[in-house]
Chain A
């Protein structure tokens, strides 16, 4: 169960768009449409932002969107706002009833 690969940091100015990547293998990200994304503020519990690659839970702004190509999934945040500054983690079903997460990306709003 190797962790998924995310860039340690990403940044953008208010109003801009930023995309965070999440690279796995054909045994996890590439093999299933069960990629999820989580937002975490310091000292707080994570919050589900995207599930099943592209789906948004109720209450999540449509500025957040997900996609996948091959073994790489992506989270795009459009119209960046100061409140989007947080850590973001991807997760994936990994077969054999296992799950794996990425190492996390710290998003900075400049």
Chain B
């Protein structure tokens, strides 16, 4: 079974920055981040290809968030800058089995942005 563990969430002020991390087994896949605001639905945030060169972002985070990976450490990252209240959510690290079908999910890490 694939293990996915996120860390790095917390409370941050509006305009601040936070870096999320994720360690996953079976790391030779596209990876990504999906978030879920409290009581709301799922929202795709960003994805990165196997070698880290291809990166894609939702319009809502483009220019503020940066996804990256370190294959030697089986680790995925999400650098979040210029945080807004609407970024408050549980952020899930996900493994993509292909074309945005997310087959493995971590337990999630909560990011709360205070105004």
Q: Are B101 and A100 in contact (CB under 8 A)?
A: no
Residues of B97-115 whose CB lies within 8 A of A: 97-103, 105-108
Bound: A56/B53 CA distance, A:
30
Interface contacts (Cβ under 8 Å), in number, total: 65
Which residues of B are interface residues toward A (Cβ below 8 A)?
34, 41-44, 47, 54, 56, 58-59, 92, 97-103, 105-108
Q: Are A32 and B42 in contact (CB under 8 A)?
A: no
> Binding site of B, secondary structure by majority: helix, strand, loop or mixed?
loop
A24 within 8 A of B: no
Bound: A3/B42 CA distance, A:
10
Q: Are A91 and B42 in contact (CB under 8 A)?
A: yes
Which residues of A are interface residues toward B (Cβ below 8 A)?
1, 3, 32, 34, 36, 38, 45-48, 51-52, 57, 89, 91-93, 97-104
Closest-by-CB residue of A relative to B97 is: A51
Bound: A92/B42 CA distance, A:
12
Q: How near does chain A come to B33, taking the closest CB pair, in angstroms?
A: 11
Q: How near does chain A come to B48, taking the closest CB pair, in angstroms?
A: 11
Q: How near does chain A come to B78, taking the closest CB pair, in angstroms?
A: 16
Which B residues are CB-close (under 8 A) to A100? 44
Q: How near does chain A come to B4, taking the closest CB pair, in angstroms?
A: 9
